[in-house]
Amino acid sequence: MKLYDFELSGSCYKIRLLLNMLDLKCELKSVDFVNKEHKSDAYLALNPFGEIPILEDGDLRLRDAQAILIYLAKKYDASGQWFPDDAASMGRIAQWLSTGGGEIMNAAGARLVKILDYPLDLDKLQAGAHRVFKIMNAHLADRPWLELGHPTIADIACFPYTAMAGEGGIDLTPYPHVLAWIERVKRLPGFIPMPGVPAP
């Protein structure tokens, strides 16, 4: 397998996390995100959306971090823990895949403004991030994981940009249940840190 990867990308980190938790080997192909290699013709030929990550596994090439999480869990998770094979579990988890690729990306955008000076509306992004973290905090008040009572790809999809919210100027102090969940994720077997997401 080959992952088109950028070390500082939370979307790529999601994949590296699940790969490591599933004890899978994968070649990392570094994409020069800062210099916009992901908008080059060569990269756009692999993913016309011009986004990282991409996963290649044999003849299969997949874009979109959430789609890649589904693929890896379905293909390589013999335990069935990460994306259980029943309709209700899949539906419940898929809600949070949408959130991880959707509302939580407000926090990713805020981080891009802060660390790479992207010309985006920081106030709007931070407000959007606070909205979703408030919802997650209430949701996690009486459960340890986002769904099913155990870790799933829902948690993986939502973790990176939540854990790095501070880099976008978003204070998680008002969300103690989110903070506790972040610590739980960090203590999962196979957890790996990244810059901005230190080991516990």
Least gap, CB of 138 to a second copy (angstroms):
7
Helices 122-139 and 176-186 cross at an angle (nearest 10°) of: 80
Q: How far apart are CA 46 and CA 62, in angstroms?
A: 9
CB-wise, 87 or 199, nearer to a second copy? Answer: 87
Binding string, 37-76, against a second copy, x = CB under 8 A?
-----------xx----------x-xxx-xxx-xxx-xx-
CB-wise, 15 or 197, nearer to a second copy? Answer: 15
Residue 5 burial class via C-beta count within 10 angstroms: exposed 0-12, middle 13-18, buried 19 and up: buried
* DSSP characters over 96-129: HHHHHHTTTHHHHHHHHHHHH---S-HHHHHHHH
| 80 binds a second copy, rule: CB under 8 A | no
| 142 binds a second copy, rule: CB under 8 A | no
* Footprint of a second copy (CB under 8 A): 48-49, 60, 62-64, 66-68, 70-72, 74-75, 85-88, 90-95, 97-99, 101-103, 135, 138-139
